[in-house]
Structure 1
Amino acid sequence: MNTKSRFNTMELTKMGLLTALICVSAYIVIPLPFSPASLTAQTLVVNLIALLLTPRQAAFTIIVYILLGLTGLPVFSGGVGGPGKLFGPTGGYIMAWLIAVILMSWLKGQRYSFARYCLVTVCVGMPIIYLLGSVYMKFVTGMDWISTFTVAVFPFIPLDLFKCAAAALIAKPVQESLSRARSVI
C-alpha cells in the first residue's frame, strides 16, 4: 500500500481549517456597483492556502471548496452556492484559484521568505487569477476587453497587493505555530 498518497492528521487539519477559512472569508464582501465582482477577503485566504500548504494539499483544499459550493452550500462570495455562481460571470476567478495555488505553492520555496512570498503571490498568483477570471468573464458577459479589465481587474489591484503582503506576513507566525503544534503531537 502506498502511504505517500494519503494525507496525515496534521495535513488534513490544516486543509480543513483553510477550507473553513475560505468559506468564512466569502462573507466579507464589499460589492462594487460597477462590477459583477466584489471585493472579498478570499484572495487573502487563497494566498495563505498556497503559502501554507504543499501544491497537492493546496489543490485538494480548493477542489473541496469548489465542490462544497457546487453542491449548493453558501460558500461562494456573498454567501451564495450552486452552479450558477461557478458558471456565472465571476466563476472564472474561483476556477483560476486552483491553478494559482498550485503554482504559488510550488514556487514559494521550502523556507519562509517575506520577499519571495510577496513576489510569488503578486507576480504569479494575481496575474493567473486576473487573466483567467477576466477571460472567463469576457466570454460569459460578451463585454469587450477594455470594459472587462475596467470592471474585473483594475479596481482590485491596490487591495490585492495589500492582501498579498498580508498573507506573506501572516504565513510566518502560522507556520511557526504549526511547527510547534507538530512537535507537541
Structure 2
Amino acid sequence: MKESHEKLRMMMVTALFAALIGILAQITIPLPLVPITGQTLAVGLAATILGSRYGTSSVLLYLFIGAAGVPVFAEMSGGLAKIFGPTGGYLLSYIPTVYITGLILEKTRFTVPMAFLANIIGMLLTLIIGTVWLKYMSSLSWTVAFASGFAPFIIVGILKAFLASWLGITIRSRLATANMLPKKNATLSR
C-alpha cells in the first residue's frame, strides 16, 4: 500500500514539474532565431530535484503535451511542427539533458557544487544538440548556427545552471525532510 502511495505522489510531482516547464517556457527574451526562455531553468530544476528517472518523465510529459498541440512551448506555441522545426532540437535535447544531469547527481552527491557541474554539462548538451539541429533544419553555416544558437546562451546558461543548482538542492533538501521523495532517492549531502 505504501509503495502505491509513493508512486502516486511521484506521478503528481512529475506532472507538477511538466507544468512548471510549460510555465517557465513563457518567460522569453526574443532573439532573431532562438529566444532565451525559462524552460532550461525548469529542466535543470527537474533534474536536480527529481533525479534522472522522474526528471525525464516530467520532460517527456511536457513534450507529449506540447506535441499534442497544447501551447506549453515558448511564446504559447505547441504542436509537432514546433518540435520538428528549427528550434525543435532544443526541445528534444531536454530528454538526454535531464537524464544525464540527474544521473550525474545520483552517481555522485546531491550538493550545490555537484549540481552546478551537472547542470553546466546539461546546458552544454542542450546547446550542442540544439545548435546542430538548428544548423541542419535552417540550412545555416556552422558560424551562423553557432552565433545564433550557442554563443548568446552561454552566460545566461551559466546563470540558469547556478540557479537550478542552488534552488534545486534547497528544494530537494526540504522535500526529503518532508518525506516527499522516494526513500531510495532522498539521500542528500549539502
TM-score by length of 2: 0.87
Preserved CA contact (<8 Å) 1:25 1:40: yes
2:26 corresponds to: 27
Which of 94, 119, 122 aligns to 1:97? It is: 94
Once the two structures are superposed, what CA deviation does each residue of 1:94-141 show, in whole Å capped at 9, x if it has no partner? 00110011111000136421111111111x201211111111111110
Preserved CA contact (<8 Å) 2:97 2:122: yes
CA RMSD of aligned residues (A): 1.8
Deviation at 1:52, TM superposition (A): 1.1
Give the Cα–Cα distance (whole angstroms) in 1 for the partners of residues 29 and 82 of structure 2.
17
Q: Aligned in 2, Cα 1:25/1:9: closer, same or farther, shift over 3 Å?
A: same
TM-score by length of 1: 0.90
Preserved CA contact (<8 Å) 1:10 1:182: no
Aligned length: 177
1:37 corresponds to: 34
Which of 143, 149, 169 aligns to 2:146? It is: 149
What SS does the corresponding residue of 2:29 show, helix, strand or coil?
strand
What SS does the corresponding residue of 1:78 show, helix, strand or coil?
coil
1:118 corresponds to: 116
Give the Cα–Cα distance (whole angstroms) in 2 for the partners of residues 17 and 71 of structure 1.
18
Deviation at 1:13, TM superposition (A): 2.3
2:14 corresponds to: 15
Q: Aligned in 2, Cα 1:142/1:7: closer, same or farther, shift over 3 Å?
A: farther
Deviation at 1:7, TM superposition (A): 6.6
Give the Cα–Cα distance (whole angstroms) in 2 for the partners of residues 55 and 7 of structure 1.
17
Give the Cα–Cα distance (whole angstroms) in 2 for the partners of residues 65 and 36 of structure 1.
22
Give the Cα–Cα distance (whole angstroms) in 1 for the partners of residues 175 and 11 of structure 2.
13
What SS does the corresponding residue of 1:76 show, helix, strand or coil?
coil
Once the two structures are superposed, what CA deviation does each residue of 1:5-34 show, in whole Å capped at 9, x if it has no partner? x971221122111111001011111101xx
Give the Cα–Cα distance (whole angstroms) in 1 for the partners of residues 169 and 93 of structure 2.
25
Structure 2: which 5+ runs fail to align?
181-190
Give the Cα–Cα distance (whole angstroms) in 2 for the partners of residues 103 and 63 of structure 1.
14
Preserved CA contact (<8 Å) 2:115 2:169: no
